[in-house]
Structure 1
């Protein structure tokens, strides 16, 4: 039996899934691995294309009829939220502005919509993640919504942070910020079994970080080692091993608030 597994090429995902993807977790099937940005996996999961897949928490309302949320392997945390970046420091809100975003069902975009509800942008365009900062630096967009390693590198593009949506969310709710989730297809994967596999993959990653370094760097492309280390240190944390009560509360708060604003369909509490 071979299962399909999809996650991003970002260092946190390759670090977490190194052992699982390389057959180092005892008792697992073989995996056919796909590397794709989260906007791609969100859309593919809606079509039921993968057995195990990393998606945005914001996409769950469209996916939980086919998939089960797993309590590990995802990305939540504190001090790790998406940033709204601008080139012109005179810009103080998104009202009437053009904004590049990494996907319309990403947690980053949902948080931006909640944060800017009283002063929404004029136009939003989906742009591949790696192209957002250069496009804002060129003046193609007034602002860009970025995630992951961009929080360590945006100054190199001459950009400034208009808002840290993680700080805003944490200050407003007191909860960690839920970014990426791991889900298992209900008809093809036993969720308890998959949870055990991923927990062991995470355990191995922490036990011997050097073992995955070549794999992580190969997929990080031009990201230097120091940024890779910062990235993993920030996004792979206690919530990666287990969502726990705070993690589940954060997901429920995000989806409940978004549904109340009419931004996503109402979703049964995923922590129940």
Structure 2
């Protein structure tokens, strides 16, 4: 029985629906799924609790000795996290900015650091790390001056009266001309089942697409946002050609992110 971690976000539950619900051939492998937010999954992998898991690509930098990333199942996209605020004019006047981030080791946290150092090099900051679903309310209640939104949050922040400061996906694309390597699927190197897992995951994605309504009902059970249009937007944004096979462009994107992490002291 292999412990397999995925997040409750719509792209993950859509991708792995076929495996969780035993709709595809798992080639004799048995999985015990752990469904937690990505920062929790990052932490569990640091503790070596999970055999296979979705993690932030940022976290993979610290885990690569024990885990290898798979070419399928990850989250690479042109659509990245967004930076939002309640009051754009107030933000300009602040000497110290309180920033709400969805976990220290999320890729969103790293992207925000790169953006901050380029555009706010002389401003002071304080950061608070919290579950991704708490950030919208934190900023709306002005308990944080800026927040970085991932998952469904990037599609609904305007409904809360919040304003866009920056799209970190557009920022990354301008800087690198590469897709954003938000998350990847990793497995323990010692298991030596990488190729089998990649085939199973691809078949699970194909099953979800060919049984769309069935998959959508499964996704709704876990999504923070229940609006079906938002869920569909999320799946469209993060389940794409790179999900089936990240290819050389995806590998290059991961290497570029890791290179930038190596050169930085993120939120130190």
Instruction: Report the equivalent of 1:76.
Output: 76
Q: CA deviation at 1:120?
A: 5.4
Instruction: Report the equivalent of 1:153.
Output: 156
Instruction: Report the equivalent of 1:259.
Output: 262
Instruction: Report the equivalent of 1:100.
Output: 100
Q: CA deviation at 1:262?
A: 4.0
TM-score by length of 2: 0.93
Q: CA deviation at 1:136?
A: 0.6
Which range is displaced more, 252-261 or 116-125?
Answer: 116-125
Instruction: Report the equivalent of 1:87.
Output: 86
Query: How many residues are aligned here?
Result: 262
| SS at 1:23 equivalent | coil
TM-score by length of 1: 0.92
| SS at 2:88 equivalent | coil
Do the aligned partners of residues 145 and 210 (structure 1) sit closer, same or farther apart at CA in structure 2, a change above 3 Å counting? Answer: same
Structure with bigger helix share is 2
Q: CA deviation at 1:245?
A: 1.3
| Alpha-carbon distance in structure 2 between the residues aligned to 1:55 and 1:153 | 24
Matches within 5 A, 1:171-190: 171-190=174-193
Instruction: Report the equivalent of 1:21.
Output: 20
| SS at 2:50 equivalent | coil
Q: CA deviation at 1:227?
A: 0.6
Q: CA deviation at 1:29?
A: 2.2
| Alpha-carbon distance in structure 2 between the residues aligned to 1:43 and 1:172 | 29
Q: CA deviation at 1:130?
A: 1.0
Compute the RMSD of aligned alpha carbons: 1.7
Do the aligned partners of residues 21 and 137 (structure 1) sit closer, same or farther apart at CA in structure 2, a change above 3 Å counting? Answer: same
1:124 counterpart = 2:127: yes
| SS at 1:116 equivalent | helix
Q: Note if contact 1:23-1:30 (Cα within 8 Å) is conserved in structure 2.
A: no
Do the aligned partners of residues 241 and 120 (structure 1) sit closer, same or farther apart at CA in structure 2, a change above 3 Å counting? Answer: farther
Q: Which stretches of structure 1, 4 residues or longer, exceed 3 Å deviation after superposition?
A: 92-95
Do the aligned partners of residues 120 and 212 (structure 1) sit closer, same or farther apart at CA in structure 2, a change above 3 Å counting? Answer: farther
| Alpha-carbon distance in structure 2 between the residues aligned to 1:86 and 1:44 | 31
Q: Show structure 2 runs of 5+ residues with no match.
A: none
Q: CA deviation at 1:211?
A: 2.3
Do the aligned partners of residues 92 and 170 (structure 1) sit closer, same or farther apart at CA in structure 2, a change above 3 Å counting? Answer: farther
Q: Note if contact 2:6-2:41 (Cα within 8 Å) is conserved in structure 1.
A: yes
| SS at 1:187 equivalent | helix
Q: Note if contact 1:95-1:119 (Cα within 8 Å) is conserved in structure 2.
A: no
Q: Note if contact 2:82-2:148 (Cα within 8 Å) is conserved in structure 1.
A: yes
Q: Show structure 1 runs of 5+ residues with no match.
A: 265-272
